[in-house]
A = this chain, B = another copy of it.
Amino acid sequence: MLNRMVERQSDDLDLDAVFHALAHPIRRATLEELADGPKSVSELAEPHEVSLAAVSKHLRVLEDAGLLDVEQDGRVRRCHLDSAPLSDAFGWLTRYRVFWEDRFDALADHLENEDR
Protein backbone atom coordinates (compact mmCIF):
# COMPACT_ATOMS: atom_id res chain seq x y z
CA MET A 1 0.00 0.00 0.00
CA LEU A 2 2.77 2.37 1.00
CA ASN A 3 4.84 0.91 -1.82
CA ARG A 4 2.29 2.05 -4.30
CA MET A 5 2.23 5.53 -2.78
CA VAL A 6 6.00 5.83 -3.22
CA GLU A 7 6.12 4.39 -6.70
CA ARG A 8 3.27 6.59 -7.72
CA GLN A 9 5.13 9.64 -9.01
CA SER A 10 6.82 8.01 -12.00
CA ASP A 11 4.42 5.18 -12.63
CA ASP A 12 1.48 7.50 -12.60
CA LEU A 13 2.97 9.70 -15.26
CA ASP A 14 3.34 6.66 -17.47
CA LEU A 15 -0.16 5.44 -16.77
CA ASP A 16 -1.59 8.89 -17.43
CA ALA A 17 0.13 8.93 -20.80
CA VAL A 18 -0.75 5.35 -21.69
CA PHE A 19 -4.42 5.59 -20.79
CA HIS A 20 -4.66 8.98 -22.45
CA ALA A 21 -3.12 7.52 -25.58
CA LEU A 22 -5.64 4.68 -25.53
CA ALA A 23 -8.57 7.09 -25.13
CA HIS A 24 -8.75 8.04 -28.81
CA PRO A 25 -10.23 5.69 -31.42
CA ILE A 26 -7.71 6.63 -34.10
CA ARG A 27 -4.86 5.84 -31.75
CA ARG A 28 -6.35 2.51 -30.71
CA ALA A 29 -6.98 1.67 -34.35
CA THR A 30 -3.38 2.57 -35.10
CA LEU A 31 -2.17 0.13 -32.49
CA GLU A 32 -4.42 -2.52 -33.99
CA GLU A 33 -2.99 -1.81 -37.42
CA LEU A 34 0.53 -2.07 -36.09
CA ALA A 35 -0.23 -5.46 -34.64
CA ASP A 36 0.12 -6.85 -38.17
CA GLY A 37 3.65 -5.52 -38.36
CA PRO A 38 5.52 -2.25 -38.81
CA LYS A 39 3.99 0.41 -41.04
CA SER A 40 4.96 3.80 -42.37
CA VAL A 41 3.21 6.98 -41.32
CA SER A 42 1.40 7.21 -44.66
CA GLU A 43 0.27 3.62 -44.45
CA LEU A 44 -1.07 4.24 -40.96
CA ALA A 45 -2.82 7.42 -42.05
CA GLU A 46 -4.47 5.95 -45.14
CA PRO A 47 -7.48 4.21 -43.51
CA HIS A 48 -8.44 7.32 -41.53
CA GLU A 49 -10.24 10.30 -42.91
CA VAL A 50 -8.23 12.95 -41.17
CA SER A 51 -5.19 14.75 -42.52
CA LEU A 52 -1.74 13.22 -42.53
CA ALA A 53 -0.61 15.91 -40.11
CA ALA A 54 -3.33 14.88 -37.67
CA VAL A 55 -2.21 11.25 -37.80
CA SER A 56 1.37 12.38 -37.35
CA LYS A 57 0.29 14.06 -34.11
CA HIS A 58 -1.49 10.94 -32.94
CA LEU A 59 1.65 8.96 -33.59
CA ARG A 60 3.59 11.41 -31.47
CA VAL A 61 1.18 10.83 -28.60
CA LEU A 62 1.61 7.08 -28.93
CA GLU A 63 5.36 7.48 -29.13
CA ASP A 64 5.46 9.71 -26.04
CA ALA A 65 3.48 7.08 -24.17
CA GLY A 66 6.11 4.58 -25.27
CA LEU A 67 3.54 2.56 -27.18
CA LEU A 68 5.39 2.69 -30.46
CA ASP A 69 8.94 3.08 -31.66
CA VAL A 70 9.95 4.75 -34.87
CA GLU A 71 12.75 3.59 -37.08
CA GLN A 72 14.00 5.89 -39.81
CA ASP A 73 14.28 4.02 -43.09
CA GLY A 74 15.40 6.36 -45.81
CA ARG A 75 12.77 9.05 -46.06
CA VAL A 76 10.09 6.87 -44.54
CA ARG A 77 9.51 6.47 -40.81
CA ARG A 78 8.59 2.92 -39.99
CA CYS A 79 6.55 2.56 -36.79
CA HIS A 80 6.44 -0.60 -34.77
CA LEU A 81 4.55 -1.53 -31.67
CA ASP A 82 6.18 -1.44 -28.26
CA SER A 83 3.88 -3.27 -25.93
CA ALA A 84 5.64 -2.75 -22.61
CA PRO A 85 3.39 0.19 -21.65
CA LEU A 86 0.35 -1.88 -22.55
CA SER A 87 1.60 -4.27 -19.92
CA ASP A 88 1.62 -1.41 -17.45
CA ALA A 89 -1.97 -0.59 -18.25
CA PHE A 90 -2.86 -4.24 -18.14
CA GLY A 91 -1.09 -4.48 -14.80
CA TRP A 92 -3.06 -1.64 -13.33
CA LEU A 93 -6.32 -3.19 -14.42
CA THR A 94 -5.21 -6.59 -13.19
CA ARG A 95 -4.68 -5.28 -9.67
CA TYR A 96 -8.41 -4.66 -9.54
CA ARG A 97 -9.18 -8.03 -10.88
CA VAL A 98 -9.79 -9.20 -7.32
CA PHE A 99 -12.70 -6.79 -7.05
CA TRP A 100 -14.46 -8.04 -10.11
CA GLU A 101 -13.26 -11.61 -10.27
CA ASP A 102 -16.56 -12.97 -11.53
CA ARG A 103 -16.78 -10.55 -14.42
CA PHE A 104 -13.12 -11.10 -15.15
CA ASP A 105 -13.56 -14.83 -15.41
CA ALA A 106 -16.60 -14.47 -17.61
CA LEU A 107 -14.66 -12.17 -19.87
CA ALA A 108 -11.67 -14.46 -19.96
CA ASP A 109 -13.91 -17.33 -21.04
CA HIS A 110 -15.54 -15.15 -23.62
CA LEU A 111 -12.22 -14.07 -25.09
CA GLU A 112 -10.91 -17.60 -24.95
CA ASN A 113 -13.68 -18.92 -27.19
CA GLU A 114 -13.37 -16.26 -29.79
CA ASP A 115 -12.37 -16.29 -33.42
CA ARG A 116 -8.91 -14.76 -32.94
**A window 80-116: CB within 8 A of B:** 81, 83-84, 86-87, 89-97, 99-100, 103-104, 106-108, 110-111, 115-116
A94 to B89, CA, bound (A): 11
The bracket for how many chain A residues form the interface is 35 or more
- In the bound complex, do residue A16 and residue B24 qualify as a contact, i.e. CB atoms below 8 Å apart? yes
Chain B contacts for A110, CB-based, 8 A:
91
Give the interface SS of chain A, mostly helix, strand, loop or mixed: helix
Number of copies: 2
- In the bound complex, do residue A87 and residue B111 qualify as a contact, i.e. CB atoms below 8 Å apart? no
Residue numbers of A with Cβ under 8 A of B are: 1, 3, 8, 12, 15-16, 19-20, 22-25, 28, 31-32, 35, 81, 83-84, 86-87, 89-97, 99-100, 103-104, 106-108, 110-111, 115-116
Chain B contacts for A116, CB-based, 8 A:
1
For this complex, 5 residue pairs linking A to B, each with C-beta atoms less than 8 Å apart, are A19-B19, A19-B20, A19-B23, A83-B96, A83-B100
- In the bound complex, do residue A107 and residue B83 qualify as a contact, i.e. CB atoms below 8 Å apart? no
A35 to B94, CA, bound (A): 13
Chain B contacts for A24, CB-based, 8 A:
16
